[in-house]
Structure 1
Amino acid sequence: MNNDDFKEVPDNIQDNNGETTNNIDNTNDNKSNDYEDVCYICRRPESVAGKMIHIQPNLCICNDCMQKTFDSMSNGNFGNLGNLGNISNMDFGNMPNISMINLSDLTGGIPNSQKLKKKKPKEEKKVEPILDIHSIPAPHRIKASLDDYVVGQEHAKKVMSVAVYNHYKRVMADNKHKAQEENTTAKQASNKYDGVEIEKSNMLMIGPTGSGKTYLVKTLAKLLDVPLAITDATSLTEAGYIGDDIESVVSKLLAAADNDVERAEHGIIFIDEIDKLAKKRNANQRDVSGESVQQGMLKLLEGSEVEVPVGASSKNAMVPMTTVDTRNILFICGGAFPGLEDIIKERLNKEASIGFKADLKDKYDGDENLLMQATVDDIRKFGMIPEFIGRLPIMFSLEALTEDMLVKILKEPKNAIIKQYQKLLEMDEVRLEFDDDALYAIAKMAKEKKVGARALRAIIEDFMLDIMYEIPKDDNIGTVTITKDYVEKKGGPLIQMRGTPELADSQHV
Structure 2
Amino acid sequence: MEEKMEDNNVHGSDGEDTKKEQEEYEKFCYVCRRSEQVTGPMISMPGSMNLCHDCMQKAFDSVTQGGFDLSKIPNMPYMNLNLNDLGKLNSQDFDIPKKQKIKKRSDKEAKPEISLKDIPAPHVIRQKLDEYVIGQEQAKKVISVAVYNHYKRVYLTEKGLTDEEGNVQIEKSNILMIGPTGSGKTYLVKTLAKLLDVPLAIADATSLTEAGYIGDDIESVVSKLLSAAGNDVDKAERGIIFIDEIDKIAKKKSTSSRDVSGESVQQELLKLLEGSTVEVPVGSNQKNALTPMTSVRTDNILFICGGAFPDLEDIIKERLKEKSSMGFSAELKDRYEKDSNILFQVTNEDLRKFGMIPEFLGRLPISVTLESLNKDLLIRVLKEPKNAILKQYKKLLELDEVQLVFEEEALEWIAEEAMKKKTGARALRAIIENFMLDIMYEIPKDPSIGSVVITRAYLDKKGGPFIQMRS
| TM-score after normalising by structure 2 | 0.87
Counterpart contact for 1:25–1:54, Cα < 8 Å: no
Q: Indicate whether 1:50 and 2:65 are aligned.
A: no
* Paired position in structure 1 for 2:145: 162
What are the equivalent positions in structure 2 for 1:23-422 lying under 5 Å apart? Answer: 26-31=16-21, 34-40=24-30, 42-48=32-38, 50=41, 53=44, 59-62=48-51, 64=53, 96=82, 99=85, 101=88, 103-105=90-92, 110-111=97-98, 114-119=100-105, 121-125=106-110, 130-177=113-160, 194-355=166-327, 358-422=330-394
What SS does the aligned partner of 1:478 have?
Answer: strand
* Paired position in structure 2 for 1:480: 452
Q: Matches of 1:69 and 1:299 in 2, distance apart?
A: 32
Structure 1 alignment gaps of length 5 or more: 1-21, 79-93, 181-188, 500-509
> Match for 2:382: what amino acid?
L
> Match for 2:284: what amino acid?
A
CA-to-aligned-CA distance 1:20-41 (integer Å, 9 cap, x gap): xx99854513559754344555
* Paired position in structure 1 for 2:72: none
Counterpart contact for 1:46–1:52, Cα < 8 Å: no
Q: Matches of 2:203 and 2:224 in 1, distance apart?
A: 8
Q: Matches of 1:343 and 1:69 in 2, distance apart?
A: 58
> Match for 1:43: what amino acid?
R
Distance 1:95 1:139, change over 3 A: closer
What SS does the aligned partner of 1:331 have?
Answer: strand
By how many angstroms is 1:43 displaced? Answer: 3.5
Counterpart contact for 1:24–1:55, Cα < 8 Å: no
Distance 1:67 1:380, change over 3 A: closer
> Match for 2:278: what amino acid?
V
What are the equivalent positions in structure 2 for 1:421-440 lying under 5 Å apart? Answer: 421-440=393-412
By how many angstroms is 1:153 displaced? Answer: 0.2
Matched-pair identity in %: 61
By how many angstroms is 1:194 displaced? Answer: 3.4
What SS does the aligned partner of 1:118 have?
Answer: coil
> Match for 1:171: what amino acid?
V
Distance 1:428 1:40, change over 3 A: farther
Q: Matches of 2:353 and 2:60 in 1, distance apart?
A: 61
Counterpart contact for 1:151–1:405, Cα < 8 Å: yes
Pick the structure with greater CA Rg.
1
Counterpart contact for 1:50–1:62, Cα < 8 Å: no
* Paired position in structure 1 for 2:3: none
Counterpart contact for 1:244–1:314, Cα < 8 Å: yes
CA-to-aligned-CA distance 1:184-218 (integer Å, 9 cap, x gap): xxxxx87xx53321000101110000000011011
Distance 1:429 1:55, change over 3 A: farther
By how many angstroms is 1:118 displaced? Answer: 2.5
Q: Indicate whether 1:471 and 2:454 are aligned.
A: no
Q: Matches of 2:34 and 2:337 in 1, distance apart?
A: 59
By how many angstroms is 1:359 displaced? Answer: 2.1
* Paired position in structure 1 for 2:71: none
Instruction: Report the count of equivalent residues.
Output: 446
CA-to-aligned-CA distance 1:374-398 (integer Å, 9 cap, x gap): 1111111111111111110001100
Distance 1:480 1:35, change over 3 A: farther
CA-to-aligned-CA distance 1:73-114 (integer Å, 9 cap, x gap): 998999xxxxxxxxxxxxxxx9845546351428986556x3
By how many angstroms is 1:47 displaced? Answer: 3.9
Distance 1:269 1:102, change over 3 A: closer
Counterpart contact for 1:115–1:320, Cα < 8 Å: no
Counterpart contact for 1:40–1:109, Cα < 8 Å: no
Q: Matches of 1:331 and 1:136 in 2, distance apart?
A: 18
Larger mean CA deviation between 394-403 and 309-318 belongs to 309-318
